[in-house]
Structure formats: structure tokens, C-alpha cells
Amino acid sequence: MMTDNENNQITEQANTTSTRRAFLKSSGLTFGGIAIGATFGGLLGNLKGGDVQTEQAPPPPVAEVANPNVALMFFNPEEYQTTNVAVERIFPEDENGPGAMELNAAIYIDHQLASQWGVNARDYRLGPFYNPEPTQGEQIKLLRQDLFRLGLKRLDNYSNENYERQFIDLEAGEQDEVLVAFEKGEAGSISGVSTAEFFKLLRQLTLEGVYADPMYGGNKEMLGWEMRKYPGTRMGYVNEIQKKDFVELEPNSLQSHMGHS
């Protein structure tokens, strides 16, 4: 025989079940023992020729994907602006195509200086430091990133000394005059190092930024390669070399090889 407590529990369960059934009836359908919401119920109504119509939300707009490589890792904004102006004077825009600024050469330089290469990680650094012969490489104590950063400061100091303006505020012709003075080593020194060493580094990195694979931050959209009709990195040219006529190929970056087995 059930106690009063057991009777009360059964009554509560029955009331709960009744309440749930009422909720399902009012909010949707029950189909084959499965609760079906109002949206799916409306869909079934449409399939059966019912009057219930449901509006589909428009797809969200496709967001433009930014290039993650275009981000500063070493420069501060002022150094980046000065570098941008300097590389454009070395490789300016002309009728053949964009200049180093549009090709993101300064971004390439920023990433290289932020890397192990920028701190001469693989170079012998214990001296002695002799004056190198013309056939030898650099023999300086400064790290590359320090030489570049100090070189940018010297660009501004030399411009102020001779034109009373910062380098980026000079006219294009005046900027060229400053860079020529640096190239010839006539713009003073950078912690005991000739400005010619800074210019050589600046020019080298500018050209690398124009023509290196886009994965390193420069050569935006492979436009540098397009100007040279360079096909980029390809797995092979078996099909092309068998043709009699010259085959002009669209450039491929290293990213294009992703997915190859």
C-alpha cells in the first residue's frame, strides 16, 4: 500500500508531464515522439501546401581577408614611414609598374630585421674587425638591426643639418641627394660605421622586398614578378618545354604549392 508521500510524488510527476506536453503543443509539434520546433513546423507546413511561410535571413557579408604579413614586427611607426619613403626613392614607381612602397618592401625589411638574420645570429661576432678588402663582406661590430635603426636616425639628422627638415619632408630630388651622399659615404658615420654600409644594406633589402616571395611580406600580389615576367616557384616545366612557342606563365608563390601531394 502506497504512503501519502509516494502518492504526492506520482501526482507531481503527472502534473509535470502534463505541463511539458502543453508546452510542446503550444511551441511546436511532436512528430513520431520527437519534439519539432516552430521553424521546422513552418517548413513542414510549406511542404504540405500550408499557409505558413518562413523568411530566411540573408547570408552575412563576406569580410575582406587582410594579409596577415602586413604588420610591423620591428619598426615603430616613424621608422616605418621613413623606410617607406627611402625604398620608394631607390625603386620608384614608373611606367613599368609599382614602386617599392606599394610592393610592401618596407614590410619585408621590417620582418627581416626582426628575425634571427637581423641580429646576425649565424655570423661570427668575436673579431678582430679589420677593414675589409673590396672582395670581402662587411666587417663591422653593429648588428644589422642596430645599423639600420641608427641609419634611419642619421637620415633625419643629415637632412636637418643640410635642409632643416626631416627626410620624409624633403622633395624627391632632395631625398635623392641625401641618399647619394649616404651611398658615397659622405654623410658622416653611424657609430663609427660609414653611411655607405647603411645604404648598401638599405638597397639590398629594398630589392629583396620587391622580388622575394610574398610569404616574406614584400612583393605584394606578386606584382614585382609580373613586371619581370617571372613565373615564380613551380613544380616543373615539363609541359611548357615541349611546346614550340614561348609560353608566358602567371607567377606562382610558395603558397600555391599548399595541397600538393
Decide if pLDDT at 17 tops 60. Answer: no
DSSP assignment of 33-102: TEEE-HHHHHHHHHHTT-S---PPPPPPPPPPPP-TT-S-SS--HHHHHHHHHHHHHHS--BTTB--TTT
CA distance 29 to 230: 64
Interior/surface letters 129-160, b for 16+ CB within 10 angstroms, e for the rest: eeeeeeeeeeebebbbbbbbbbbbebbbebbe
CA distance 154 to 167: 10
pLDDT at 25: 54
The whole-number average pLDDT for the span 33-48 is: 46
pLDDT-based confidence at residue 247 (cuts at 50, 70, 90): confident
β-strand 189-190 against 29-31: which pairing, if any? unpaired
What would the pLDDT profile of 71-122 be if each residue is shown by its tens digit? 999 999 999 999 999 999 999 999 999 999 999 999 999 999 999 999 999 9
CA distance 244 to 240: 9
pTM of the model: 0.71
DSSP assignment of 117-147: GGGTTTS--S---PPPPTTS----SS-HHHH
Decide if pLDDT at 127 tops 90. Answer: no
CA distance 42 to 188: 81
Decide if pLDDT at 58 tops 90. Answer: no
**Per-chain mean pLDDT for the chain:** 82
CA distance 54 to 51: 10
pLDDT at 40: 43
Amino acid at 147: L
